[in-house]
A and B are shown apart, each in its own frame.
Chain A
């Protein structure tokens, strides 16, 4: 019972604020709702028992990416944006694409409706650490290389000619 209340409220929070992200006219509001939606996803990780993923989601997404996007919105926006349409004129076609995909995805999801969780959740951080420094050592190091490249790329692209 408790599990169901938690799941449905988190699902409603995540999907409702995701809809606000997509439909809000003011981009600042949409970036605030993005943070809320990502926090809802973190809650879903918690309800799945993925404790390290929950912490990583809060640290990287909610307090990193959402804040970064908010900064970009405030740097790049201007007052006239509030009066312009934020949706292009092909939204009917996009809605059609999403409706058709929704039918297919619902069929796939419905085929797993008898998959219940059989074991209680247990902390996975220890196993994740073992996996990252054992079997997945090479991809783990490659990700650090990707992050370094992203760092250098960001510095390179935002570097202005005059300075």
Chain B
């Protein structure tokens, strides 16, 4: 296994996430796609650590920061979503047009 294999898996996961974030109508689907993109970045960080910086853990520590920030992001995102759902009564992104007046 070379670094290219892991980078290819990371790129595939990232592109699947981009496709989902661009095309899903359901806002929870968009949040799930964003999580996939975070994970793709983390795979790349761990792979660069293993192949280009053997014995080091700097990439892994960066991936752990990403995991912590992603956890915070998903909590705030779902809380906002619950608050919007209570007002607008929908989970579809194109119906969130409160600011259009």
Could you tell me which A residues sit within 8 Å of B by CB distance? 3-4, 7, 11, 14-15, 18-19, 21-22, 27, 30-31, 34, 37-38, 41, 44-45, 47-50, 52-53, 56-57, 60-61, 64-65, 68-69, 72-73, 75-77, 81, 84-88, 90-91, 93-95, 97-98, 101-102, 105-106, 108-119, 121-122, 124, 127-128, 131-132, 136, 139, 143, 146-147, 149-151, 153-158, 160
Contacts and interface: CB of A to CB of B under 8 A. Distances in A.
Interface string B35-60: 11001001100110111101111101
A149 B75 CA distance: 11
B57 A131 contact: yes
A125 to B, nearest CB: 9
Nearest to B15: A98
A8 to B, nearest CB: 9
Interface in B31-90: 31-33, 35-36, 39, 42-43, 46-47, 49-52, 54-58, 60-61, 63-65, 67-76, 78-83, 85-86
B25 A86 contact: yes
A27 B9 CA distance: 24
B32 A116 contact: no
A7 B1 contact: yes
Interface of B: 1-9, 11-20, 22-26, 28-29, 31-33, 35-36, 39, 42-43, 46-47, 49-52, 54-58, 60-61, 63-65, 67-76, 78-83, 85-86, 91, 94
